[in-house]
Amino acid sequence: MVYLNGQFKPAKEATLSIYDRSVLFGEGVYEVVPIYNGKPLALDLHYQRLVISLKTIFIQPVFDLKTWHELILQLLQHNDYQHKNCLLYTQITRGSTFSRSHKIPHDLQPTVILFIQPFVPPDPLQNVICFKVVTLADKRWQRCFIKATSLLGNILSIEEAKAQQADDAILIRNGLVTESNISNVFIVKNNIISTPIANELILNGIARQLTIALAHQQQITCHERDIKENELYEADEIWLTSSSKEIAPAIELNNQPVGTGRPGPLWCKFIKLFEVYKNQLLAKSYAN
C-alpha cells in the first residue's frame, strides 16, 4: 500500500498524471527516513530539511510534523510494518497543470506521495560493508542543499564511478571536496574528524548532522571546514554517511588503499558509539 494525495491504495493503482510537473520538469522534493522497529529516526530533522526544500522552490508545506508522523504510522499499519525496519520515501511535487510552461503556477495542489521499502540496517559489528570510491568533478548545479527529485547529475556520476569499478564517487568542485553522489563525506587525520561545510553545494544530510552531534557529545574533535582534494589521499580514514548506510568506511580511493585499506580504528570506535546514540534517540523520541 502507498499513500497518494490523501488516499491509501495498492501501488499498482496509484497513478500520476503525465502533466505533473515532476514528470515534465523534475520539479519536486523528497525525503528518505530510516524506520527502525516501526520508529522513524530523527523525523524532526528530516521535516526541517523538507520544509527548507519546499520553501526554496516556492511550495508551501502541505503538512506539519505531527500530521506527517500520523501518515507514516498509518502507512506502516496498512503494510503490517508497525514493528519492522523500512525506509520511508516521501515526495512532494508542485502538482499538475495542462499548460506546460517554465513559469511557475502558484495555484496548484501539490502531489504528495509516501511509500515504504524493506530495509536491512547496517550491522557493522557483525558484517562491515566497505566502499571503494573514486574522485570525479562535481558537475551538478549550484543548489545541492535542496533535496530535489531531479538527480540526473548524480545518476550520471554514479555510472561513471561504476565504469571505474567503484561503488561511488567523491565529488570535487574548484579543488574542494563537496560530497559523494549519495552520501556526505568525512575524513579522519590524526584522530581529528573533518567534513565539508554545509553550504549550498552539499546536502546537509541527517546522518551527517547526527555524526557531528555525536562527535561533539563524545568530545571527539570534529571540524566543519573546506577540505582540499589532496587531503583525501593523506587521510587516515574516509567515512561516508547517509540515512541508509549510516556511517560506512571507504577503504579504497582511486584504486589506492585509504590508510591501511581496512576500516580505521576511530571508525571502529565511533560506530559502536553511534549504535548506542541511535537507540537513545529512538527511545527518547518515542518514550510516551
Q: Choosing from 66, 103, 147, 189, which is the catalytic residue?
A: 147
Confidence at 233, pLDDT banded by 50, 70, 90: very high
Average pLDDT over residues 138-159: 97
So where are the chain's domains?
2-118, 131-283
Active site residue 147: yes
What is the CATH class of 131-283?
alpha beta
Average pLDDT over residues 74-81: 98
**Backbone angles phi and psi of 77, in degrees to 5:** -65, -45
Average pLDDT over residues 41-69: 98
Average pLDDT over residues 133-140: 98
pLDDT digits (tens, 9 = 90+) for 238-253: 999 999 999 999 999 9
Distance of CA 144 to CAs 30, 129, 165, Å?
Answer: 13, 27, 26
Q: Could you tell me which CATH number the domain at 2-118 has?
A: 3.30.470.10
Average pLDDT, the chain: 97
Supply the pLDDT for residue 237.
99
Name the residue among 82, 86, 50 with its Cα closest to residue 67. Answer: 50
Whole-model pTM: value is: 0.96
pLDDT digits (tens, 9 = 90+) for 87-110: 999 999 999 998 899 999 988 999
Strands of 39-40's sheet, edge to edge? 7-9, 2-4, 111-118, 86-93, 28-36, 39-40
Supply the pLDDT for residue 30.
99
The CA distance from 207 to 47, in Å, is 14
Supply the pLDDT for residue 202.
98
Name the residue among 189, 157, 207 with its Cα closest to residue 264. Answer: 189
Q: Are 93 and 134 in contact (CB under 8 A)?
A: no
Percent of the chain at pLDDT > 90 equals 94
Average pLDDT over residues 55-76: 98
Which DSSP letter does residue 110 get? P
Average pLDDT over residues 255-261: 97
Percent of the chain at pLDDT > 70 equals 99
Confidence at 287, pLDDT banded by 50, 70, 90: low
